[in-house]
Amino acid sequence: PFVSPAADPAVISPQDPTLLIGSSLVATCTVSPASPLRAQDLYWTLNGRRLPAASYTALGPTTLSVALAHLNGSKQQSGDNLVCHSRDGGILAGSCLYVGLPPEKPVNITCWSKNMKDLTCKWAPGTEGETFLHTNYTLKYKLRWYGRDNTCQEYHTAGPYSCHIPKDLALFTPYEIWVEASNRLGVAVSDVIMLDILDVVTTDPPSDVHVSRVGDLEDQLSVRWSSPPALKDFLFQAKYQIQYRVEDSSEWKVVDDVGNQTSCRLAGLRPGTVYFVQVRCNPFGIYGSKKAGIWSDWSNPTAASTPRSERAAGGCDPKGGEQNTTLRRELKQFFGWVKKHAYGCSNLGIKLYDQWRVWLQKSHKTRNQV
């Protein structure tokens, strides 16, 4: 319903305008004819700061205008407050200025499904991102050939630009997924991505990682874990990665070629040292999917220590240090050979290594007896 200006002490025009950054604006404040106030009794503030009188013009006995040039982006998404005051500081009328940019096309949509039960997607808000205006993002999805548009409801689940679809997803049919960005200055729509849930499966990290010593071998640890229980009923392959670090270091070494085994032996470690070990899983080839799969998070670190080296402890053997140096040199040669001819966790390499250690110990014994 139309309200006559008499109902308010004053009226600002334009009311709550939306403007592009860099725009100029002339706003007017007109006091009610019934009011004793006149144009010369008024002044303007923007976000609480008084605007200079040089920017004012009286457009008649009861109207005062203010000219704002080259406006910057709004300081707050709720709009900047332009207020008309009476001489004693009283507020007569207010208007919100929304100054910003239209949204940019959202980019880099990536999605993953935890154990094939749900779907989470995230995106980036375009090259600049900051529009200075409240910008709303909506993730939409539909089955490729015959679906209707669905709108994702659970936002900010994996960061500021993300959404989670908890259930009712179809397998074996590709989805079309896109993001729409809208604010007071316009709408921008991302490219549509196409994906099949089976191609973007990730899982929980292995939870039961065990790290133990390998007999008295002071430079090895054995790592064991189980495949992801949530996927036990599905036809899939898995590959694993291990990373380990010394207790007092923050630098992880990654063992990349574990393959689909659920155990691995770490060799070439320092004697008498605590190591932290983590494992992660990549389920791929689910029901014959040709895509690479998505790595899980790393498991919680599991700690174990290698046995202390007796030789390193000293004793009465004057040649102890010398022997140790020779052993290290031979070890280096052996691992160089294994790297060239085998893989980090290949059983072949470990068996050969064990045989070689036995032979080495025998030859040392023989040498010492002589």
323-359 residue pLDDT tens: 556 666 666 666 655 554 444 554 445 555 555 565 5
Strand pairing category for 10-13 and 201-202: unpaired
pLDDT of residue 355: 55
Q: What is the DSSP letter of 306?
A: P
pLDDT reading at 179 higher than 80:
yes
- In the structure encoding, which two tokens stand for residue 320, read together? 């102890």
The rounded radius of gyration (Å) of the Cα atoms in the chain is 35
Give the residue, 38 or 321, on which the prediction is more confident. 38
Q: How far apart are CA 154 and CA 120, in angstroms?
A: 9
The residue with tokens 């997803």 is 169
Strand partners, 68: 25
E strands within 201-322? 201-202, 210-213, 221-224, 237-246, 253-255, 263-266, 274-284, 302-305
User: Out of 2.60.120.1570, 2.60.40.10, 3.30.70.100, 3.90.1150.10, which CATH number does the structure's domain 107-199 have?
Assistant: 2.60.40.10
Q: What is the mean pLDDT of the chain?
A: 82
Give the integer Cα–Cα distance in Å for 6 and 222: 86
pLDDT of 216 reads: 84
- Does the domain at 203-306 match CATH 3.40.50.300? Answer given as no
Q: Which residues of the chain form CATH 2.60.40.10? A: 10-100, 107-199, 203-306
Which segments of the chain does DSSP mark as H helices, in order? Answer: 320-341, 347-369
CATH of the domain spanning 10-100, picked from 3.90.226.10, 2.60.40.10, 1.20.1260.10, 3.40.50.1100: 2.60.40.10
Q: Quick check: 1 pLDDT over 50?
A: no
Which of residues 2 and 261 earns the better pLDDT score? Answer: 261
Amino acid 356: pLDDT: 52
- Those residues whose C-beta lies under 8 Å from the C-beta of residue 284, and which sit 6 or more positions away, are 236, 237, 238, 239, 291, 292, 293
Binned at pLDDT 50, 70 and 90, residue 368 comes out as low
CB neighbour list of residue 195: distance below 8 Å, 6 or more residues apart: 111, 174, 175, 177
